[in-house]
């Protein structure tokens, strides 16, 4: 193979990838150890939280992924100094000189991430106004921001839609509010928290998301001086305070990355120790992993996942908000399900368009049928949404190599797993998307014994 990667350090130059595609010789089990660091879906929000203080915050276990770079860039144009600390993965964020950014600087970040929307509350508190460019993120559905804007309006913010984005002001300040989310949205819960902590008075948030990453963000805000209590039944009460100080915090591990490597171990009949993974935040995943026929062993420093031999079994899963089976876990697991004997069903209830990755798997030989309107009406814990999409996976089907293009972050990782599982050679292109959320994925693949080369 051309450009065969044999040097882990070269492969480790992950973010700002120097290649667009990866050619994989499949059929080898992945075996070895990978490290997971802080969760993408916490670290980026924790960085925004630093903007709420005028002090210095220290965030540890920050992965080198492109979403972190985007948020870092946004913070820097608002006057936050971001430097590396002494520890590997440590960032120091100094928010003592926050300033308004120029429109052109902000606009340069348009379309690169969804995190800018979370700058609203902190910027309103610090500067009295915020400008948010058109948002990016994975194309997995409409991904509207109506819950965010409605919540901000409840606090007294005024939202003005401009051709290139949204301008938000708070002419009469931000005041504690009643916020009832139509759905326990992760982002809208974070929006409410980041706004309420310094709003005047008490905020009651109902139907809040309670994902572990949200709890970690609440822990950070509490360290900064916020008063937040998590009540039963998805209610969060926030008593606003005038000022907050900086924080020192080690980010919660990335359970999405851990579940991805676990699925890769299962699909390739491998054995992978995921250092840093913790049982308490993965229990729903672990149950399904076991039901499918995977083995795991929880250790103090991580979790070992492996295929114990024998047949894999089909499962029926409905994705859900926490503590349900995460929407981000289904794509990598689907590849393992193509190897199970029988019919599995994944019912996606969080996003309306999260089976875009399936066409590549079909091209590689998988028997997957997507039903746009779902299959059955099942009762659920949280208010029903008008999203009904199901994928029916019938296995086992041998996968063969093919040329495929990454559609989104988690779908992209599932393409890598499929290529590793398939016999023959596959080229996976547009892999830059994967580096949005997977630190040094090519170095980790190399460490696990994958055979691949990179191009372009």
Question: What residues are annotated to the active site?
Answer: 138
Residue 328 within binding range of ligand EPU, rule CB under 6 A: yes
Among 60, 69, 143, 380, binds ligand EPU (CB under 6 A): 143
Residue 293 within binding range of ligand EPU, rule CB under 6 A: no
Shortest Å, Cβ 346 to ligand EPU: 14
Residue 350 within binding range of ligand EPU, rule CB under 6 A: yes
Residue 353 within binding range of ligand EPU, rule CB under 6 A: no
Distance CA 90, CA 249 (A): 10
Among 47, 78, 125, 147, binds ligand EPU (CB under 6 A): 147
What residues have CB less than 8 Å from 104, skipping those under 6 apart?
none
DSSP for 291-354, written as a single string: HHT-EEEEETTEEEEE--SS-B---EEEB-STTSB-HHHHHHHHHHHTTBSEEEEEEE-S-SS-
Binding window for ligand EPU (CB under 6 A); candidates: 103-111, 123-131, 286-294, 323-331: 323-331
Shortest Å, Cβ 186 to ligand EPU: 4
Q: Compare residues 61 and 271 and give the one whose CB is closer to ligand EPU.
A: 61
SS3 71: helix
Residue 340 within binding range of ligand EPU, rule CB under 6 A: no
SS3 430: coil
- Taking CB under 6 A as the rule, which mask of x and - marks residues 204-223 in contact with ligand EPU? -----x--------------
Tokens read off for 148: 């965010």
Distance CA 287, CA 296 (A): 10
Residue 327 within binding range of ligand EPU, rule CB under 6 A: yes
Shortest Å, Cβ 14 to ligand EPU: 17
Secondary structure element (H or E) that encloses residue 451, with its range: strand 451-455
CB 62 within 8 A of CB 68: yes
Cis bond leading into 402, ω under 30°? Answer: no
User: Which residues, 52 to 111, sit near ligand EPU by CB under 6 A?
Assistant: none
Binding window for ligand EPU (CB under 6 A); candidates: 74-82, 91-99, 135-143, 153-161: 135-143
Half-sphere exposure of 88 (CA within 13 A, CB side): 3
Binding window for ligand EPU (CB under 6 A); candidates: 121-129, 134-142, 279-287, 310-318: 134-142
User: Which residues, 411 to 450, sit near ligand EPU by CB under 6 A?
Assistant: 437
Residue 314 within binding range of ligand EPU, rule CB under 6 A: no
Among 351, 355, 357, 452, binds ligand EPU (CB under 6 A): 351
**Strand-strand pairing, 342-348 and 389-395:** antiparallel
Considering only CA atoms, which of 80, 242, 117 is closest in space to residue 191? Answer: 117
Binding window for ligand EPU (CB under 6 A); candidates: 84-92, 141-149, 236-244, 335-343: 141-149
Distance CA 390, CA 369 (A): 8
Secondary structure element (H or E) that encloses residue 426, with its range: strand 425-429
Summarize as ranges the residues that interact with ligand EPU (CB under 6 A): 40-41, 114, 138, 141-148, 183, 185-188, 209, 256, 326-328, 350-351, 409-410, 437
């Amino acid at each position: 193979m051309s450009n065969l990667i044999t040097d882990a350090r070269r492969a480790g130059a992950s973010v700002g990838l120097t290649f667009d595609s990866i050619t994989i010789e499949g059929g080898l089990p992945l075996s070895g150890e990978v490290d997971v660091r802080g969760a993408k879906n916490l670290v980026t929000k924790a960085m925004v939280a630093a903007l709420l203080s005028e002090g210095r915050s220290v965030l540890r276990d920050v992965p080198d992924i492109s979403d972190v770079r985007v948020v870092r860039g946004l913070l820097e144009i608002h006057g936050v100094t971001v430097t590396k600390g002494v520890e590997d993965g440590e960032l120091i964020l100094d928010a003592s000189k926050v300033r308004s950014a120029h429109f052109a600087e902000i606009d340069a970040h348009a379309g690169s991430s969804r995190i800018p929307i979370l700058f609203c509350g902190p910027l309103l508190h610090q500067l009295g106004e915020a400008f948010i460019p058109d948002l990016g993120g994975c194309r997995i559905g409409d991904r509207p921001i109506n819950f965010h804007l409605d919540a901000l309006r409840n606090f007294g913010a005024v939202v003005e839609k401009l051709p290139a984005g949204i301008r938000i002001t708070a002419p009469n300040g931000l005041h504690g509010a009643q916020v009832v989310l139509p759905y326990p949205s992760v982002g809208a819960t974070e929006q409410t928290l980041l706004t309420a902590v310094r709003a005047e008075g008490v905020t009651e948030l109902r139907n809040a998301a309670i994902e572990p990453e949200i709890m970690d963000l609440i822990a950070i805000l509490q360290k900064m001086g916020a008063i937040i209590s998590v009540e039963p039944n998805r209610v969060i009460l926030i008593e606003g305070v005038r000022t907050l100080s900086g924080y020192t915090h080690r980010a919660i591990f990335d359970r999405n990355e851990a579940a991805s490597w676990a699925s890769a171990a299962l699909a390739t009949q491998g054995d992978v120790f995921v250092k840093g993974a913790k049982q308490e935040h993965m229990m729903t995943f672990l149950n399904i992993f076991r039901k499918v026929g995977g083995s795991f062993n929880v250790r103090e420093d991580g979790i070992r996942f492996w295929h114990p031999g024998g047949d894999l079994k089909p499962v029926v899963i409905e994705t859900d908000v926490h503590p349900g089976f995460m929407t981000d876990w289904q794509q990598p697991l689907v590849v393992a399900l193509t190897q199970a004997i029988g019919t599995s069903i994944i019912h996606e209830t969080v996003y309306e368009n999260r089976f875009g990755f399936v066409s590549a798997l079909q091209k590689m030989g998988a028997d997957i049928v997507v039903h746009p309107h779902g299959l059955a009406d099942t009762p659920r814990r949280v208010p029903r949404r008008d999203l009904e999409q199901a994928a029916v996976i019938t296995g086992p089907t041998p996968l063969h190599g093919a040329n495929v293009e990454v559609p989104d972050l988690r779908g992209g990782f599932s393409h890598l797993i499929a290529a590793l599982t398939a016999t023959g050679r596959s080229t996976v292109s547009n892999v830059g998307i994967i580096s949005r959320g997977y630190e040094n994925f090519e170095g980790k693949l190399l460490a696990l014994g994958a055979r691949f080369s990179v191009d372009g």
